[in-house]
Structure 1
Amino acid sequence: MEQIAKIQEQIENKPWKTAIAVFKNGKSYFENSLANTTYKSASLIKLAIALYIQEVKPQTINNAITLSTKNVVGGAGIINRLSIKTWKIKDLIDLMLSLSDNSATNALLSYYHLDTINSFLQQNFQNVSLNRFLMEKSTKENTCTANSIMNVFQRLLNGNNEVNQIILNSLKHQTVRNKLVAYSNPKFETFNKTGELLHEQHDIARFKSQSEVIDCCVLTNYQNQEDYEGILNMIQNIGKILTQ
């Protein structure tokens, strides 16, 4: 249990709010008092969109979508810099998860309908809410808790169909690796998805070795920009502690 004490040491007495949930081999291992507190989800909501496609619409992944101009937005991703406007759904899923592409995400939200996906989420995960498109100026917010997005993540990674293979591959090649998986033990294969907004820094990851599967979700909310470095440091240390 020394590991838990080390994690607690990382997250206690900090000027920011941290929620954490850790599972080992599918069983809850550690969570703190904020694990069921609602946070803005940032890009972690993309996991929930992928889960809807994997479970409800797996037969559609070879369909093609031509992006409308309203789908193409700034922020993370590459579609907004490319001239290619027609994509297969499976490629949009990959771009959404590996590069956190906001335009790919919005195209999927338009195609499958945001409200339809949100209804699926409300029926399955009461604390995950999909209420707006990515980069959209809105009074509505996409939200989750550490435990609820962990449920989404585990269901997503434990799936078993063609869509699941695309998703696993995307999360394995996620380009932002500066948080939980930054200094993890190389004996673990890693799958992760990160999320950030002006006041949020999140990461969720699976560390998989021959004998162990560790899932960890860390959500943070902070007010001062000078805390940013400390938060990155904390999340990196948690990944390191879990895989020692």
Structure 2
Amino acid sequence: MIDLNKQLADTISTIVRPLGDHIAVEISGSDGFSFSYHENIPMLSASLIKLPVLLYAYKSAELDSSILEQTIHLDEQKIVSGSGVLQILSLRDWTIRDLLALMINVSDNTATNLLMDFFGIENLQAWVEKQGLVETRIERKMMDEEAQREGRTNWISAHDANWMIQQIFSEKNPLPDDAKAWLLHQQYRDKLPGLFDEKSQPVTVYNKTGEMEEIDHDAAYFFYNGHSVAVTVLTSGIENRQDALFPIQNIGQLIEEYLVEVAHSVG
């Protein structure tokens, strides 16, 4: 197992180091594998900032289970562009649970903004800080150009995002199965699981992506036969998008192959 872990770490290192400070990685496996590279360097978060919103919502629901069934009315002026489906649907009343599903499953920006309004950006940031996530900042809603002009934006690190994805599956207090299903069936699967997602293979991948101009991220939880790996890859400032997707996809395939080999080696 030690040799297998070292081999994987060495291979990932050869992929990421040529990209210098344009990439950040943190990986943590249930069988002792770990790898980190620039993991504490904050980058523009893009849609990975939706992970703390998801976690905060379910932590709030632990105190008041009725929160998830509360209804929010969507006013026309609150619809924003970018990813999502609320901008094309006619329904205007949505439960918190459904907005969370849309935020994760189709990365809906309008749903995210409604949830940020409901829970409060200051409350979300205070919760982030309470968890010790010092490289994550929630300063604005999605597609808020005025906030961007004022210098307010959202940041995250590979370390913080990887902690968040692990919290969803924590043995002590995991999120419910429906939340996990949103990640499993989400519509953006071209990054960490991109090279094998449509193939017949046994590894299950739950992931959340983020992208902006010259920004490509993915945070995922790989699971197979009782073995798991949490992996986050952030990229920033890579002009040719294929040059950003290449390391993300190849790291994902390496993790998939590793999990299968680990499971078989231990019977």
Superposition TM-score, scaled by structure 1 size: 0.93
Q: Deviation per CA, 1:14-35, whole angstroms, max 9, x where unpaired? A: 3771100001018561101x11
- Select 2:143's aligned residue among 127, 135, 142: 135
State whether residues 23 and 233 of structure 2, in contact with CA within 8 Å, keep that contact through their aligned partners in structure 1.
yes
RMSD: 1.9
- Select 1:199's aligned residue among 210, 214, 223: 214
Residues 1:63 and 1:182: Cα distance change in structure 2 (over 3 Å)? same
Residues 1:64 and 1:161: Cα distance change in structure 2 (over 3 Å)? farther
Give the total of aligned pairs: 241
Runs of 4+ in 1 over 4 A off after TM superposition: 159-163
- Is 1:54 equivalent to 2:58 in the alignment? yes
Question: Could you tell me which amino acid in structure 2 is paired with residue 132 of structure 1?
Answer: R
- Select 2:223's aligned residue among 197, 201, 208: 208
Question: Could you tell me which amino acid in structure 1 is paired with residue 245 of structure 2?
Answer: L
Following TM superposition, by how much is the alpha carbon of 1:71 offset from its aligned partner in structure 2, in angstroms? 2.7
| Deviation larger for 152-161 or 213-222 | 152-161
Q: Match for residue 79 of structure 1? A: 86
Question: Could you tell me which amino acid in structure 2 is paired with residue 240 of structure 1?
Answer: Q
Following TM superposition, by how much is the alpha carbon of 1:49 offset from its aligned partner in structure 2, in angstroms? 0.2
Identity of aligned residues (%): 26
- Select 1:153's aligned residue among 165, 185, 188: 165
Q: Deviation per CA, 1:178-233, whole angstroms, max 9, x where unpaired? A: 00011248211110000001121000111100131011100001252xx2112112
Structure 1 portions without partners, runs of 5+ = none
| Deviation larger for 207-216 or 152-161 | 152-161
Cα distance in 2 for partners of 1:86, 1:243 equals 40
Q: Give the structure, 1 or 2, with the largest relative contact order (CA under 8 Å, sep 6 or more).
A: 1
Following TM superposition, by how much is the alpha carbon of 1:237 offset from its aligned partner in structure 2, in angstroms? 0.6
State whether residues 103 and 112 of structure 2, in contact with CA within 8 Å, keep that contact through their aligned partners in structure 1.
yes
Taking the TM superposition and a 5 Å limit, the aligned residue runs for 1:1-244 are 1-14=6-19, 17-25=22-30, 29-32=34-37, 34-58=38-62, 59=65, 60-124=67-131, 125-137=133-145, 138=147, 139-158=151-170, 164-184=176-196, 186-224=201-239, 227-244=240-257
Cα distance in 2 for partners of 1:146, 1:14 equals 15
Q: Deviation per CA, 1:134-172, whole angstroms, max 9, x where unpaired? A: 000122111111001111111123277796222101001
Residues 1:70 and 1:121: Cα distance change in structure 2 (over 3 Å)? farther
Structure 2 portions without partners, runs of 5+ = 1-5, 258-267
